[in-house]
Amino acid sequence: MSGKRGNGEGSIYPYKNGYAAYVWVTKPDGKRARKFAYGKTREEVHEKWLALHAEAKKGPVATRHRTLAAFLAYYWLDSIVKPNLAPLSYVSYEGYVRLYIAPHLGVKRLDKLTVRDVREWLTKLSAVCQCCAQGKDAKRESNRRKCCAVGECCESYPSRRVIQGSRDALRAALTHAVAEEEITKNVASLVKVPKPRRRRIKPWSVAEAGRFLADAAARDDHLFAAWVLVLCLGLRRGEVLGLMWKSVDFETGELYVDHQIQRAGRQILHRESKTEDSDDFLPLPTLCLKALRMRRAQQSGDRKAAGELWQESHDLIFTTKYGTPIEPGNMTRMFALRARRAGLRVIPLRNTRHTCSSLLVALKVHPKVAQRILRDSQIAMTMEVYAEASEEEVRAAIGKLSDAMGGTG
Ligand SMILES: [Zn+2]
Ligand SMILES: [Zn+2]
């Protein structure tokens, strides 16, 4: 530090066991007030004082410490999450803040939040009926209320997944507050939450997958090609629904997966997915190519039938009868419906990915090609896969599928 004192530096003075300083600032309401900085050494306070000065020059400064609710809702969500993260992350964080964090911890001061507060919040949260808390039943018309609003609580406690998600959202926000030096440690990261228990679901066998596809083909299901791509390539729901015709190269038999359909709140978004590492083309097994050709014919049929009602949307491969994107949730529902109709066990759609490698073997897709397909989806190709796929029952199922497709698949 130079011997000369800067203008106004005289406001640094000994305070308790260290030093304090203040700067005159303009508050958000336009009034002038002193804002204080404290520290152990003169040096430290000087640094803070300089930073405060710079902040005051830029615009209004809040002198009071913020409540957690103010920090989360007005600052973190709007200024950090919304402009920087994917829309889906915003929707998810916003939900956690509004429904699970703010109602319980919102009034606490950001800088006074303790590990204990967080632990007590999580314990309490797991025992709060969300139907009561969010007034779900109360929102129903008076003659249709059936539980919490009529004194018979339905005990809709948040799942472990929700508890975990709430903690993670708070932790993400506090990480930001630490980075901006509003607080010194992230109390949410110091609290452990039990990991959500994973249900183990036996994936479909190749025979089951084959039966599903054969049934869908026989019914001229407009999502047939989607099921084929999910089962053979291990594509995710949003990836399949986001595919565009220009993503398919019928000449080389390749597919480029670079878009997704997502539901974010009330909107359905068609957005580009992350491109790092995904700039590879997926080779399309014959069955996929056939299914896509069928889909193309089917869509032009739909377009003709819809006439003026047809809505062109992003060159999408999978559309409703009127050309609009397919809601991801509907795809899941349709999958369950069709599985049930084909007399199969209903498994979660994403669980079908585990059948993918066996199916590729059964389809006699070249191992090199299969490996290229599986690489991105991180599905291991094991000897068991070959064993299962060579069973007679399996060969029969796939044979039946090829028949339904009118050729060799
Ligand atoms: Zn209820
Ligand atoms: Zn209740």
Q: What is the pLDDT along the chain (409 residues), one digit of tens a residue?
A: 444 444 444 578 888 788 888 888 887 677 787 888 888 888 888 888 888 888 788 777 766 678 899 899 878 998 889 888 888 889 999 999 999 999 999 999 999 999 999 999 999 998 899 999 999 988 888 777 778 887 778 888 888 889 999 999 999 999 999 888 788 899 999 998 866 555 667 888 888 898 899 899 888 899 999 999 999 888 888 889 999 999 999 999 999 888 888 877 778 888 887 555 545 678 888 889 999 999 999 999 999 999 999 998 789 999 999 999 998 889 989 999 999 999 999 888 877 877 888 888 888 787 777 777 776 554 555 555 666 666 666 666 666 666 656 544 3
Measured in Å, residue 290 CA sits from the centre of ligand 2 at: 51
Residue from 361, 369, 339, 364 nearest 351 by CA: 339
Read off the DSSP letter of residue 33.
E
CB 104 within 8 A of CB 125: yes
CB 351 within 8 A of CB 203: yes
Measured in Å, residue 157 CA sits from the centre of ligand 1 at: 10
Q: In the structure encoding, which two tokens stand for residue 112, read together?
A: 């006074």
**Structural domains of the chain sorted by starting position, each given as residue range(s) with its CATH number in brackets:** 10-58 (no CATH), 68-190 (1.10.150.130), 206-405 (1.10.443.10)
pTM (predicted TM-score): 0.54
SS in 3 state form for 221-282? CCCHHHHHHHHHHCCCHHHHHHCEHHHEECCCCEECCCEEEEEECCEEEEEECCCCCCCCCE
Looking only at the bridges linking them, the beta strands covering 32-39 and 18-26 are antiparallel
Measured in Å, residue 134 CA sits from the centre of ligand 2 at: 9
CB 158 within 8 A of CB 96: no
Q: Spell out which residues have Cβ within 5 A of ligand 1, the ion.
A: 131, 137, 147-148, 154
Count of other CB atoms within 10 angstroms of residue 227: 25
- Residue 393 confidence (pLDDT): 65
Measured in Å, residue 188 CA sits from the centre of ligand 1 at: 30
Measured in Å, residue 90 CA sits from the centre of ligand 2 at: 27
Amino acid, single-letter form, for residue 320: T
Nearest ligand, measured from the Cα of 133: 2
Measured in Å, residue 122 CA sits from the centre of ligand 1 at: 21
Nearest ligand, measured from the Cα of 157: 2
Nearest ligand, measured from the Cα of 153: 2
Measured in Å, residue 99 CA sits from the centre of ligand 2 at: 15
Count of other CB atoms within 10 angstroms of residue 29: 8
